[in-house]
Chain A
Amino acid sequence: MKLISTTLLRRAGFFAMALAVSTLSWGQVDRSKAPEAGPAPELKIGTPTKLKLDNGLQVIVVENHRMPAVSWNMTLDYPPFLETDKAGLTSIASDMMSAGTETRTKAQIAEDVEYLGASFRANARGFFASSLSKHTGDLLRIVSDAILNPTFPEEELEKVKKQVSSGLANTPTSPGEIAGNLVSATNFGSLHPYGEVMTEETLENISRKDLVEYHKTYFRPNAAYLIVVGDITPDEAYAKANAHFGKWYRGDIPYTRIMPAKFPTGNQVRFAAVDGAAQSTINITQPVPFPPGHPDAAAIQLMNSILGGGAFSGRLMQNLREDKAFTYGARCSLSADPVTAQFIAYADVRSEVTDSALVEFMAEINRIRDEQVDSTELATAKAFLSGSFARSLENEGTVARFALNIERYDLPEDYYQTYLQRLDAVTVEDIQRVAKNMLKPNNLNICVVGSPDILDKLRPFDTGNGIDQYDAFGRVRIPRTDAPAGTTVESVVSRHFDAIGGAKAWSKLSGITTEGSVEFGAGMSLQHREDKRFSKKAQAMRTELAMAGQPVMIRAIQPEGGQELQMGNVSDMDAEAVAMMMDYLSPIRLTKMDKLGYEGTVLGQEEVAGEPSTILEFVKGDIKETYWFRNSDGLLIQQQRPSLDGSLVVEKLEMYIPFGDLGLKLPASRSSAVAGQTMTIRVAKASFNPEFDENAFDLQR
């Protein structure tokens, strides 16, 4: 009763006062100025309980009994890795994480979860699951089975790939997606995990085996955090986590060294064309050095907020929308990231004001570095960020997320308790200092997705190497031009052969043996020997890879069949592969493509590695081969054709040098991408018309 009475007294007192005020001011409320704020309310930040299972799984519990429901959220903290020619692997893994186990099909998992009225979403970095408290046990049984024992069924993978492939087909008509690809590709590049973009080709390369391997490697309890929020005590949460995730074994998580992102040279305009686009999608962006826990984090957040990161009163929004009416919204973002952070200023503007909008963007980016911000602007930004912080606490998961960040990024225990103090301590000098440290206005990627007819207007903004054009997936699109009149398939091919010793000389060869090395990536090098016999009656080829003189792989092929020896096992090659290799064997194959049933076309010219080249394409049914010949000397420098496993492989041919005394030239280096690594075959020695022994083409001779 005492408790109630004091509260009542306080309220009654306030009420009486309010009544008095309202009586006095009846009909004469002073509307001319904003009312004063009451005393600032106290912000209470709860402390979650942290526990650890024997296998290393860390459990963070936020107990809250407002509703009879509990949510479970797992995060796997492994460093991002390069997916190379399987870009999209983690994305597909996300779709496949609840696609079936030893005991449940994909449909059963969905049905069992939804029967409970519960929700469960798994992805490549964990899962989120939630249900009423009474269904927790049933839910966790399904969830732990899906997470620990996925089988990645082949037919489900095919289904997912078909859907994702359909989705990719829509990318070229979605300016937002194109812009996202353009930003990742240009800020990070294809050698950085954030810069990889899934395409039809990389999607095709992803197999069930990759998913199994991926899960085995990265789904380990010692890399996992389990956040539990809701109607549950820490003890119960621990017991449930132990029951469902306790028999999960530790494993070593590989660490990939990631290349630092590179600034562009000068301001680089990057353009992707969408015919008939109603707007230009602008992203002005660059990588920035901003890891979580950065000592200037509060000042950086405030600087971003003043420039346009969130509040409606941000400079970009006020300038480009409220003053100029170029756009529905202009903003910027700059968030900490453990690998590489990026700054992006962005807006969708109508096509005809694209250049005017860029002028304003550049002016605002420069202004925040060149001039101190106004103290009232800083005060607004502080109020806005403290307000966001307070609002975020409305969601009970927020304190759990704070605890997770403290663990993952090794932040001080009171990092979030002291956040508002750090925010408050930031000065206008700090804002200018961090703006200068973070934003480099002469090294920006100016990414624009829009109608091709605005391209010319973008030229003045490029202070780098000229405007690069990209396709929908962030790949550089080198404009193709027509080949000079009179260029024919025959003229291009015969120029190539003239440059390597003449088609006639090549047609008379009975065989070639080359010796050298093959390198996989940077680490591994093997000896390489290839024997080829061209004579029509006895076509054959044999390839041998050896390590310190010991063969590790041999492939021997003759028209009637082929065999492979690998790790001591002999296997027969399938007839289709044999036929393909035999088809590729002839050294003068390109001179007789029409006889082989291919239709040849001169596609035009484009640059390959900076060299203007002429492109020939040969088509037979659904087989397509493409060849690039360097204009300066006529040599074939790149080819793209089906490989043994059916995928299209691009091979670069370099360093044509004469071997032996016939004056015939061979490329001393041939490189291609295989399983995410560059494979380079180097020829050190070649003999033409060698004498082959009787058993020269046997698997083991």
Chain B
Amino acid sequence: MRFTSFLFLSAAAALASSAAWGQTEARQIEFTEFDLDNGLHVILHEDHSTPLVAVTVLYHVGSKNERTDRTGMAHFFEHLLFEGSENLARGEFDSYVENAGGILNANTTQDRTFYYELLPSNQLELGLWLESERMLHAKIEQIGIDTQNEVVKEEKRQRYDNQPYGQLLPTTMAMAYTEHPYQWTPIGSMAHLDAADHADFMEFYEIFYVPENATLSIAGDLDVAETRALIEKYFEDIPRGGRDIPRPTVIEPARTAEVRDTIYGKDRLPLVVQAYPIPAQGMPDYYAVDMLNQVLSGGESARLNQRVVENDQLALFCGAFSFGLEDPGLTLGFAMCNMGVDPSQVEAAMNDEVERMKNELISERELQKLKNQIEYGFVTGNQSMAGIAESLANYHTYFGDANLINTEIERYLAITPEDIRAAAQKYYVPEQRVTLYFLHDPNSQP
């Protein structure tokens, strides 16, 4: 992200994501969608509660589309695309939006790059102009490249190198994937970024930042017909890219033996990480795995917390969550051990709870609890215009069905206790697991 965070793994984020769950709701989100001739997909949601509008563009490019010798490019590019355009001088992206009383930002994941402006609704046209400038003719100059190169390095130092357990996600991904580009994270390699030249950037722009690879999703205090006219005004004359958009086709080979490793660092408390491969998001089994993780760590009363943290008192926290991605992702289990606790004890307790999931069906009460949690998540989700615009764009991009914002709940509610047990047996396989211990290096000071 340009100024917040990657879709990064931290204990807090994981717990929050398992608790807050849910992308849909009982209230129907109505929307209009259409394609321009150049292939740009547009989704509009009208809601007049507050005089605000969220203008967002999702480009279907993330770190998994990067060359192996140019990792970090997608995220770096996100930074560069705030530098200016043929009609916007350096710094003007920010000043136009902020002068209009809005905010703007962007973020990059393994699968997509997402830009947004949150504006007063009378500034909708400004947002469209800015996003069309970014798509049509962004200006990439050496001064911007040099500055953002340093800024991204600072971002990496701040978010990873100088952060407790900052290497957790990069290390886990590197161990869990040997062939697929998910083996590196969006921050990528600083050496690769140093090696990239102007031609590399222009090529990246011409391949990926084209209307047929983008979704313009707008939600808020707007009139659909007026907005459509304005979109046509600013976006219709942007030419198609027309080149093939490279997408990884490599399939990560199934592991046949568990991978184990120990990483030593400054951090004092031992951390245990377990990663198992799971199906791509949206696949039927993905929902079963997600439900399974909800049983294991959906809240304080969930099994892992009750067992490992409360009863056995082995850890500060312990959880499992689905790291769902466009290609097959991971389910990540993790525990931060209490001081002086042997991590193998914690690992054994986690494995024990997974075994229970494989051997026993969840109870009637647990099933009802899951359903209540899902219902609450869907009813209360989708409150902010920015959130709605992003969800609509995600559902369209990944599944070709924006209406999943209203219907995905059915996929969850259709999962049975038998499905959950079957998912445990099928995906929580010890031979396919990566187990990592992050331990304190006694030679590191303090």
Contacts and interface: CB of A to CB of B under 8 A. Distances in A.
Interface in B317-373: 336-339, 365, 368-369, 371-373
B315 to A, nearest CB: 8
A548 interface: no
Interface string A27-48: 1010111111111111100000
B125 to A, nearest CB: 4
A349 interface: yes
Contact of B87 (A31, A174, A390, A393): A31
Contacts of A21: 229, 233
A166 B339 contact: yes
Contacts of B161: 278-279
A114 interface: yes
A14 B3 CA distance: 37
Contacts of B240: none
B26 A68 contact: yes
A15 B226 contact: yes
Interface of A: 11, 14-15, 18-19, 21-22, 25, 27, 29, 31-43, 66-69, 106-107, 110-111, 113-119, 130-132, 135, 159, 162-163, 165-167, 169-170, 172-176, 274-279, 281, 311-313, 318, 321-323, 325-329, 348-350, 379-380, 383-384, 386-388, 390-391, 393-395, 472
Interface stretch (B36-44, B66-74, B91-99, B198-206): B91-99
B80 to A, nearest CB: 13
B99 A380 contact: yes
B33 to A, nearest CB: 19
Interface stretch (B46-54, B208-216, B254-262): B46-54
Given A14-B226, A37-B123, A386-B101, A350 B154 contact: yes
B174 interface: no
Contact of B380 (A19, A130, A135): A130
Nearest to B96: A34
Nearest to A376: B99
B290 to A, nearest CB: 16
A318 B93 CA distance: 13
Contacts of A393: 50
Interface stretch (B145-153, B279-287, B416-424): B145-153
B300 A114 contact: yes
A132 B316 CA distance: 30
Nearest to A119: B19
A277 B103 CA distance: 32
Contact of B376 (A43, A69, A279, A349): A69
B372 A117 contact: yes
16 contacts: A22-B229, A67-B380, A111-B301, A114-B299, A132-B375, A162-B313, A163-B316, A279-B162, A313-B98, A323-B147, A325-B147, A326-B154, A328-B3, A348-B154, A383-B99, A387-B103
Interface stretch (B241-249, B266-274, B396-404, B405-413): B266-274
B310 A107 contact: yes
A277 B151 CA distance: 18
Contacts of A69: 376, 379-380
A116 B154 contact: no
Chain A's interface: helix, strand, loop or mixed, by majority? mixed
A69 to B, nearest CB: 5
B136 to A, nearest CB: 8
A331 to B, nearest CB: 10
Interface stretch (B55-63, B114-122, B427-435): B114-122
Contact of A67 (B25, B86, B268): B25
A391 B94 contact: no
Contacts of A117: 369, 371-377
A174 B165 CA distance: 10
Interface of B: 3, 19, 25-27, 49-52, 86-87, 91, 94-96, 98-104, 118-126, 128-129, 132-133, 136, 146-151, 153-155, 157-159, 161-164, 221, 223, 225-226, 229-230, 232-234, 237, 266-269, 298-302, 306, 309-310, 313, 316, 336-339, 365, 368-369, 371-377, 379-380, 383-385, 444-446
A19 B226 CA distance: 9
Given A18-B225, A18-B226, 15 more contacts: A34-B96, A66-B27, A69-B379, A115-B369, A132-B379, A166-B339, A169-B339, A175-B162, A276-B266, A311-B94, A325-B147, A329-B3, A383-B100, A387-B102, A394-B50
A418 B339 CA distance: 53
Contacts of A386: 101
Q: Which of A15, A135, A279, A322 lies at the interface centre, i.e. has the most chain B CB atoms within 10 A of its CB?
A: A322
A525 B94 CA distance: 65
A176 to B, nearest CB: 8
Given A117-B372, A131-B376, A313-B94, A31 B133 contact: yes
Nearest 7 pairs between A and B by C-beta?
A387-B101, A117-B372, A41-B51, A325-B150, A117-B376, A38-B122, A18-B229
A341 B19 CA distance: 34
B109 to A, nearest CB: 18
A328 B95 contact: no
A18 B230 contact: yes
Contacts of B313: 159, 162
Contacts of A11: 223, 225-226
Contacts of B101: 383-384, 386-388, 390
A115 B367 CA distance: 10
Contacts of B266: 173, 276
A391 B220 CA distance: 12
Q: Which of A278, A318, A350, A395 lies at the interface centre, i.e. has the most chain B CB atoms within 10 A of its CB?
A: A278
A172 B337 CA distance: 17
A390 B51 contact: yes
Contact of A166 (B155, B301, B338): B338
B157 A350 contact: yes
A21 B223 CA distance: 17
Contacts of A163: 309, 316, 338
B446 to A, nearest CB: 5
Contacts of B221: 41
Contacts of B25: 67
A163 B335 CA distance: 13
A172 B267 CA distance: 9
Contacts of B99: 379-380, 383
Q: Which of B25, B50, B159, B163 lies at the interface centre, i.e. has the most chain A CB atoms within 10 A of its CB?
A: B50
Given A107-B310, A275-B444, A350-B153, A394 B385 contact: yes
Given A31-B129, A163-B338, A312-B94, A348 B157 contact: yes
Contact of B162 (A19, A22, A278): A278
Contact of A114 (B49, B128, B298): B298
Q: Which of A27, A113, A114, A313 lies at the interface centre, i.e. has the most chain B CB atoms within 10 A of its CB?
A: A114
Contacts of A277: 162
A38 B125 CA distance: 9
A69 B27 CA distance: 12
Contact of A312 (B98, B385, B444): B98
Given A29-B237, A107-B306, A159-B310, A390 B52 contact: yes
A176 B158 CA distance: 10
B75 to A, nearest CB: 12
Given A18-B229, A110-B300, A318-B91, A348 B158 contact: yes
A110 B151 CA distance: 43
B178 to A, nearest CB: 28
Given A383-B100, A387-B102, A394-B49, A37 B126 contact: yes
A328 B154 contact: yes
Given A37-B122, A173-B266, A384 B316 contact: no
Contacts of A388: 101, 103
A99 to B, nearest CB: 10
Contacts of B444: 275-276
A69 B337 CA distance: 37
Nearest to A389: B101
B364 to A, nearest CB: 12
A114 B301 contact: yes
A69 B446 CA distance: 48
